[in-house]
Structure 1
Amino acid sequence: MTMEILFETVARWLHVLGALVWVGHNYATAVTRARYVPLTAADLSDPDSPRQRALMQREHGTFRHGSLVVLGTGLAILWERGWLFDALSLQGSLAPLGLGVWLGVIMVCNLWFVLWPHQKRVLGFVPAPLDERLRCSRVTFLSARVNTMLSIPVVFLMGAGTHGIALFS
């Protein structure tokens, strides 16, 4: 087995596993919280439980870092194949993959720069007044829904990039 084949095999497995963690968390949240239910002050009364904080930090850390694994391995695979520039510039048959990459970048930015900073306040990892924490809960809900909805075309475009090229020819 050559190093290129080994690299791509490992990168693809990491890409798929990271996607299962990241997108799976989005879908699980969408199913368990199908609609927005505003938090109340009582819901946020004891965020300092050490066990609860440890579990939440681990869950959210795994979820967030899974997004970086997916993006990083996807870009690495495209780079290794020599497809990265054409995909990112939406050229030819790599346009579907490139569009999926750009949507993935939007999702990662949404997660790290919108959802996570607000979620830290909701969970009490960052001190914030109660009214700010309640407002942030709505932002995190909407931000998570954006990523869930964007994951649908991303998964389609990933598959279409290699298996549905006739759709884009």
Structure 2
Amino acid sequence: MDGIPFDLLLRWTHFAAGIIWVGHNYSSVIQRPTWQPLAAADLSDDTSPRFQALLNREHGFFRWASVVAWCAGILMLQQRGWLAGALGLQGALAPIGVGTYIGTLMMANVWLVLWPHQQKVLGLKPATVEERLRCSRITHLSSRTNTMLSIPLLFFMASSSHGGLLAG
């Protein structure tokens, strides 16, 4: 595939997936600005409105959007010949490299912390009510961590194109 159309496809894929991924975190902050612990009744009664609200939320889109955004970003860096320099935090590629590491950490957080605990909260994996309550707090903190990490992530992504002063 010719370089320019492929680059444009990667950029838009990275951009759209990033909006879905990070947008999910921001909308969560807006919808639930403070953490409200679940009650045991919320988890023991699968017909409770609160549990149904949790169950009806789409979790797959934002999880897979993290993979798509990350892969598109890595492919863009590779296609331009910048991947090694970015990962090595070399010169003008250091800011995008820091952004890459933050994005990698965020994706790992989604798949290795948030999702395994969320599966228990939603009843997709067996867990006691007490464990599900504990896991609900962990998923909240994991999600908020990614929301906070998205701020420096976006800064370093933008500074890689517009902030030559950082690496200068």
Which TM-score bucket, shorter chain as reference? over 0.9
CA RMSD of aligned residues (A): 1.9
Give the AA of the match of 2:66: S
CA contact (8 A) 2:55 2:122 kept: no
Q: Please name the residue that 1:133 is paired with.
A: 132
Q: TM-score, normalised by structure 1?
A: 0.92
Cα 1:114–1:54 change in 2 (3 A) is closer
Give the AA of the match of 1:41: A
Q: Please name the residue that 1:120 is paired with.
A: 119
Give the AA of the match of 1:115: L
Q: CA deviation at 1:65?
A: 0.2
CA contact (8 A) 1:94 1:161 kept: yes
Q: CA deviation at 1:166?
A: 2.0
Aligned residue runs from structure 1 range 59-138, under 5 A: 59-138=58-137
Name segments (4+ residues, structure 1) moved above 2 Å.
Answer: 51-56
Q: CA deviation at 1:165?
A: 1.4
Deviates more, 1:35-44 or 1:82-91: 35-44
1:165 pairs with 2:164:
yes
Distance 2:63 2:32 in 1: 19
Cα 1:130–1:168 change in 2 (3 A) is same
Cα 1:47–1:129 change in 2 (3 A) is farther
Alignment gaps of 5+ in structure 2:
none
Cα 1:38–1:48 change in 2 (3 A) is closer
The Cα offsets for residues 117-160 of structure 1, whole Å up to 9 and x where unpaired, read as: 00000011111110000000000011111100000000111010
Q: Please name the residue that 1:8 is paired with.
A: 7
The Cα offsets for residues 22-52 of structure 1, whole Å up to 9 and x where unpaired, read as: 0000000011111111100122221699x87
CA contact (8 A) 1:47 1:123 kept: no
Alignment gaps of 5+ in structure 1:
none
Distance 1:168 1:96 in 2: 7
Over the matched positions of the two proteins, sequence identity in percent amounts to: 48
Q: Secondary structure at the match of 2:59?
A: helix
Distance 1:106 1:145 in 2: 13
Cα 1:47–1:78 change in 2 (3 A) is farther
- Kindly tell me the number of residue pairs found equivalent between the two proteins: 165
Distance 1:47 1:159 in 2: 45
Q: TM-score, normalised by structure 2?
A: 0.92
